[in-house]
């Protein structure tokens, strides 16, 4: 969000969940499958699944907001150092409203105070919008 079209600060991702899972867990561990070490593959997946599913949860809420709210743009934000990451920013350029949200699997790990600090980093870009801070977790699905 807020990057210029010619910027190199763009992250690409695979939108198909099957292919995303396959490239994240199966493709890099083909040797385990060939050696019939399925229990090690399962262990690897279980160890890394929480982080992976957190990214899917962010995608879910981006899609949900895009379909249920008056949204013209939706995405995430991070600065060029990879710091100050905001999970979800949804804009309505017509109504001049914005939603800045933190997405976590566990709602107890969400800090609105930290989200406010992160939102201040993009205050210049959000200056013309009436901004609402929100928190989303699995409970909000």
Q: Which domain holds residue 40?
A: 17-140
SS3 content of the chain, % helix, strand, coil (to 5): 50, 20, 35
Quote the Cα angle for 91-94-95, to 5°: 75
Is the residue at 48 inside a domain?
Answer: yes
94: domain CATH number?
3.40.1350
**pLDDT grade, residue 8 (50/70/90)?**
low
Q: Is residue 28 part of a domain?
A: yes
- Write out pLDDT tens, residues 69-127: 999 999 888 877 767 889 999 999 999 999 999 999 999 999 999 999 999 988 898 99
Please count the structural domains in the chain. 1
Which value, to the nearest 10 degrees, does the dihedral of the CA atoms of residues 63, 113, 84, 1 take? 30
pLDDT number for residue 48: 96
pLDDT at 14: 82
- Whether residue 122 is contained in a domain is answered as yes
- 111 part of a folded domain: yes
18-56 pLDDT tens trace: 999 999 999 999 999 999 999 999 999 999 999 999 999
Q: Is residue 1 part of a domain?
A: no
Tens-digit pLDDT profile for residues 128-140: 999 999 999 999 9
**Per-residue confidence (pLDDT) for residue 34, from 0 to 100:** 96
């Amino acid at each position: 969000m807020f990057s210029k079209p010619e910027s190199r600060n763009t992250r690409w991702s695979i939108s198909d969940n099957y292919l995303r899972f396959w490239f994240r867990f199966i493709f890099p561990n083909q040797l385990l499958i060939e050696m019939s070490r399925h229990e090690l593959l399962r262990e690897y997946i279980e160890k890394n699944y929480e982080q992976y599913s957190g990214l899917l949860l962010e995608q879910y809420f981006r899609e949900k907001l895009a379909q249920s709210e008056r949204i013209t743009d939706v995405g995430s934000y991070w600065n060029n150092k990879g710091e100050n990451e905001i999970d979800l920013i949804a804009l309505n350029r017509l109504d001049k409203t914005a939603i800045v949200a933190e997405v976590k699997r566990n709602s107890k790990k969400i800090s609105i105070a930290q989200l406010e600090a992160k939102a201040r980093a993009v205050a210049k870009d959000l200056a013309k919008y009436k901004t609402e801070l929100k928190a989303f977790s699995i409970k909000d699905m």
